Structure 1
Amino acid sequence: MSTKQTPVNKNQTIELTFEDITHDGNGVGKINGYPIFVTNVLPGEKAKVKVIKVKKNFAVGRRLELIEASPDRVEPPCNVFYKCGGCQLQHMSYDMQLKVKQNQVKSALAKFAHITDIPVEPTLGMEDPWRYRNKVQIPVGEKDGKLITGFYRPRSHDIIDEMERCIVTSEVNDDLVDIVREIANELGIPAYNEETHRGVLRHIMVRTGENTGQTMLVIITRTNKIPKQDEFIQRILEKQPNITSIMHNVNPDRTNVILGKKIKCLWGEAYIYDTIGDVKFAISALSFYQINPKQTKVLYDKALEYANLTGGETVIDAYCGIGSISLFLAQKAKKVYGVEIVPQAIQDAKKNAKLNDMDNTEFIVGQAEEVMPAWKENGLKPDVIVVDPPRKGCDEALLHAMVEMNPKRIVYVSCNPSTFARDLVILTEGGYKLKKVQPVDMFPQTSHVECVALMSRMED
């Protein structure tokens, strides 16, 4: 592509002042309105930059030298921060991270929904924004004849083996990954090789119950059997006797997907348990469960506040998963209906309802946009609808089905401000007005932000 119409050329060195940061943590500097994206720079900083890619509407640069540093720049405590890519904001003060996330939500509302008159609340952050992840999935590789574990370098499948600790995951998870790698090494269990599709050990996954201390180890292999399995398990238990569960997941496919479909319990229970507030959850190796339980409680408390339940309401939870939000709502609602397309998740939701003696819940497998019109036909009239969709947002047919059911309030829990703002357009056209938006920092040190929004019928 010709670059004559752009103000910069490939391989050119320029000085650039950064005014903003993208949703994935890259700094944005502009020349005559033309944006140039650069990693590891902060708003307010000035840097010498080499242009490495030029497109019609933007360029990408690499920082060569920092000329003026922001007062919000901090030294990343992780020894592989600049190589890893798992976290994007460790070089930014936590106060600034929270402001950036608030602005991310504001910008998305202005850009995609043209909403600028609703105040976006300051982001609810953590007192201690480290060691918050209750789940880790670490790839296994080989280097110089020895097993290595670590996250991949950005946009590659090269494992960073000099990672000492992952300081956003729990220490128990960190320790267990080290133990499993060392024992597998001693027993000569080979790592899976993506190129040859040979070898055994693909990933090590650990889940921890934040409030129960229970731990599940999942060993993910290409093969149906783990070499020296009995000795492997015995030695793991000797080193870490407090494990609750050891699972074996088989993934024989050439794929980037971590978990395969076949799973069996090698030792202990097939579930671990955790609590969020007063609600108890059974978590399997395949369950979706929020990875930051402390902030999940903050998020769900806000959703419950916005739902404004007094005990007489009927609530629908679309995308209900294992019933985590549904059961939170069921504490205050008359009846909660949950719908989810994944059968295993609905099984878990029913199990969790039983676990908490919540018989005012009903869970159904299906697509919400198909199930909800059938519910409406049968006379179901929800007072509140709650949605917590994946990053791609709600299916358009679901948004129309929600409007058709005409609830008093819609509570939207979002993990992607852009798709949330896009969905708001349809809900606004359907007669709902955005009332409140509260960002919550579920993933400190990363550029991700969640938010909870309240919408009410315009006549209310």
Structure 2
Amino acid sequence: MDLELTLERVAHGGHCVARHEGRVVFVRHGIPGERVIARVDAGEDTKRFWKASVVKVLEASPDRVKHIWNMADALAAEEHGAHPVGGAEFGHISLARQRSLKAEVFREQLTRLAQTDPDSVGFHEVESVPVAGWDESESAREDDGLAWRSRASFSVTKDGRLAMHPFHSNELVPIAEMPLAAEAINNLKLWETDFRGFERIEVAAPSTGQAPLLVLIPRADNRTFRPPHGEAIENASGVVVVEQTRGSAGDGRGSLRTLAGKPYVMEQAGRRALRVTGEGFWQIHRGAPRVLTEAMLDYARPEAGETVADLYAGAGLFTAALADAVGSRGAVLSIEGAPGTSADAAYNFEADSQVYVTRGRVERTLAYETRGDSLDAIVLDPPRVGAGKQSVQAMAQTNAQRIAYVSCDPASFARDVGYFKNHGYELRNARVFDLYPHTHHMEIVGLLAKNEG
């Protein structure tokens, strides 16, 4: 069903709000103020609100530009009777307007879910981030929002071609480029390789200049490993290749088996190089580790001799900076739930006597490890779902005076800010970074502090 709609405000999730005969319609691939023809997604007609995608623009916004990626362009896909792939849903909008829309979303979520005035915490705009890592020589790159992804994940069609999914679809669309990916990833030309027998391909291009790491996830019916056919893979010089064996039912991931090179990359964290295995978490934007570390330190303000915690710590990006700040007379508690990633952290800080690495759920492990003792500061960088009520309670019980909260989702961040308020904490400052250009996502760093009295 096609509808003629006038798009109103932006909503969290990358949609614009429109109305049709009193029903709310969430529309992708548009810009507020545009008049469009939007196609309602299949199966939506009986629901309270509808979701739709723009298939034709009747009155375009002055902020509409040529899409940065033809395969993700909804209008181009409509002309060819196809569906656009996901991952660049804001690619038709000028970068300046993308950031203003993200700012609107952040302000709305913070106001509605946390009952907090964005102006009171010093928030003004979403900040652009250079693609440069710790090496400032890269910072001269033009701000076009491209080539920032140091990691990418692809599905594989039955005939072995790299592919991606359209939004909320099981369909596979073969691809032949990825403009948001780092040059080191695109230079592999993996779309020219035959990956038959594999379900998914993950690739990481580390900031240290080390060779990219490929993780190959086989299909359930691929009982015998068969190497992919492709020059980049068969001549595995300069490419690290790892097969991830399928795990048993319910355990999520399997083990890693090295086919060429080592099953990890080294990532830069200030003066340190940290090991991150093929399945481990690392910030996707190439400039994110430096920018987020600087913002975190500005808010957490760790000092020599203090006791601090790094929660959802991953391989230790923030742990590294905290360990250097508190020094040998201080202490850093690193908590991470993923076994492989926690093992990376243990390896990375084996020589740092002030760092204690432990694995477990934050809400339980933090309470057990602190046993009622106070902390000077806490840093947390939870997954997209946020920390949640129980973890916030566990943090509040440490009586930490400063909490630096790093988040990739404005809704879960604002919700958790509300939980912290119930425990006597106030959001004092917040910065929002555009670490995901041409998508609706953003990264937030907030400072929560104990209310006096």
Give the TM-score of the pair, scaled to structure 2.
0.85
Deviations 1:294-330, CA, capped at 9 Å, x for gaps: 1232122101110112323211112112222111222
For 1:204, which of 178, 195, 201 is the aligned residue? 201
| Unaligned 5+ runs, structure 1 | 1-10, 185-190, 192-199
For 2:9, which of 13, 20, 44 is the aligned residue? 20
Corresponding residue for 1:221?
218
Shift, 1:96, TM fit? 1.2
Matched, 1:348 2:339: no
Deviations 1:399-422, CA, capped at 9 Å, x for gaps: 111111111111111111111111
Q: Sequence identity of aligned pairs in percent?
A: 26
Kept after mapping to 2: 8 A contact 1:322/1:345: yes
Give the aligned residue type for 2:225: I
Measured in 2, the distance between the counterparts of 1:433 and 1:239 equals 56
Give the aligned residue type for 2:340: Q
Assess, with a 3 A threshold, how the Cα gap between structure 1 residues 371 and 238 changes in structure 2: closer, same or farther.
closer
Residue pairs, 1:441-456, within 5 angstroms = 441-456=434-449
Deviations 1:310-367, CA, capped at 9 Å, x for gaps: 323211112112222111222212321111222322211011124xx53321111222
Kept after mapping to 1: 8 A contact 2:269/2:320: no
Corresponding residue for 2:167?
154
Corresponding residue for 1:91?
92
Aligned residues: 421
Measured in 2, the distance between the counterparts of 1:13 and 1:370 equals 50
3-state SS, counterpart of residue 266 of structure 2: strand
Matched, 1:165 2:177: yes
Corresponding residue for 2:382?
389
Residue pairs, 1:296-335, within 5 angstroms = 296-333=289-326, 334-335=330-331
Assess, with a 3 A threshold, how the Cα gap between structure 1 residues 50 and 77 changes in structure 2: closer, same or farther.
closer
Kept after mapping to 1: 8 A contact 2:264/2:277: yes
| Unaligned 5+ runs, structure 2 | 75-83, 131-142
Residue pairs, 1:73-152, within 5 angstroms = 73-81=64-72, 82=74, 83-116=84-117, 117-127=120-130, 128=143, 129-142=145-158, 146-152=159-165
Deviations 1:163-195, CA, capped at 9 Å, x for gaps: 32110112332343527724x5xxxxxx3xxxx
Shift, 1:51, TM fit? 5.2
Measured in 1, the distance between the counterparts of 2:443 and 2:255 equals 32
Measured in 2, the distance between the counterparts of 1:311 and 1:298 equals 22
Kept after mapping to 1: 8 A contact 2:314/2:342: yes
Give the aligned residue type for 1:147: G
Shift, 1:131, TM fit? 1.0
3-state SS, counterpart of residue 31 of structure 2: coil
Measured in 2, the distance between the counterparts of 1:314 and 1:157 equals 47
Kept after mapping to 2: 8 A contact 1:249/1:261: yes
Assess, with a 3 A threshold, how the Cα gap between structure 1 residues 268 and 239 changes in structure 2: closer, same or farther.
closer
Measured in 2, the distance between the counterparts of 1:343 and 1:12 equals 48
Shift, 1:50, TM fit? 5.3
Kept after mapping to 1: 8 A contact 2:214/2:241: yes
Deviations 1:246-303, CA, capped at 9 Å, x for gaps: 2111227799x9x841321112222221213323111211111111131232122101
Q: Indicate the larger mover: 233-242 or 146-155.
A: 233-242
For 1:374, which of 368, 372, 379 is the aligned residue? 368
Kept after mapping to 2: 8 A contact 1:279/1:328: no
Measured in 2, the distance between the counterparts of 1:62 and 1:138 equals 23
Kept after mapping to 1: 8 A contact 2:210/2:265: no
Kept after mapping to 2: 8 A contact 1:327/1:358: no
Measured in 1, the distance between the counterparts of 2:324 and 2:247 equals 42
Kept after mapping to 2: 8 A contact 1:179/1:236: no
Assess, with a 3 A threshold, how the Cα gap between structure 1 residues 17 and 367 changes in structure 2: closer, same or farther.
same
Shift, 1:105, TM fit? 1.4
Measured in 2, the distance between the counterparts of 1:110 and 1:249 equals 43
Shift, 1:233, TM fit? 8.6
Deviations 1:204-236, CA, capped at 9 Å, x for gaps: 222111232332122222335323x4xx69954
Give the TM-score of the pair, scaled to structure 1.
0.84
Q: Please tell me whether Structure 1 or Structure 2 has the larger radius of gyration of its CA atoms.
A: 1
Q: Indicate the larger mover: 56-65 or 331-340.
A: 56-65
Corresponding residue for 1:398?
391
Give the aligned residue type for 2:190: D
Kept after mapping to 2: 8 A contact 1:108/1:421: yes
Deviations 1:363-420, CA, capped at 9 Å, x for gaps: 112222222223333x632110111111111132221111111111111111111111
Give the aligned residue type for 2:182: S
Kept after mapping to 2: 8 A contact 1:121/1:437: no
Give the aligned residue type for 1:406: N
Assess, with a 3 A threshold, how the Cα gap between structure 1 residues 241 and 341 changes in structure 2: closer, same or farther.
closer
3-state SS, counterpart of residue 400 of structure 1: helix
Assess, with a 3 A threshold, how the Cα gap between structure 1 residues 13 and 350 changes in structure 2: closer, same or farther.
closer
Deviations 1:48-101, CA, capped at 9 Å, x for gaps: 445564466423344353222111111112120121012210001111111122
C-alpha RMSD over aligned residues: 2.6
Measured in 2, the distance between the counterparts of 1:39 and 1:280 equals 40
Matched, 1:60 2:51: yes
3-state SS, counterpart of residue 80 of structure 1: helix
Kept after mapping to 1: 8 A contact 2:302/2:325: yes
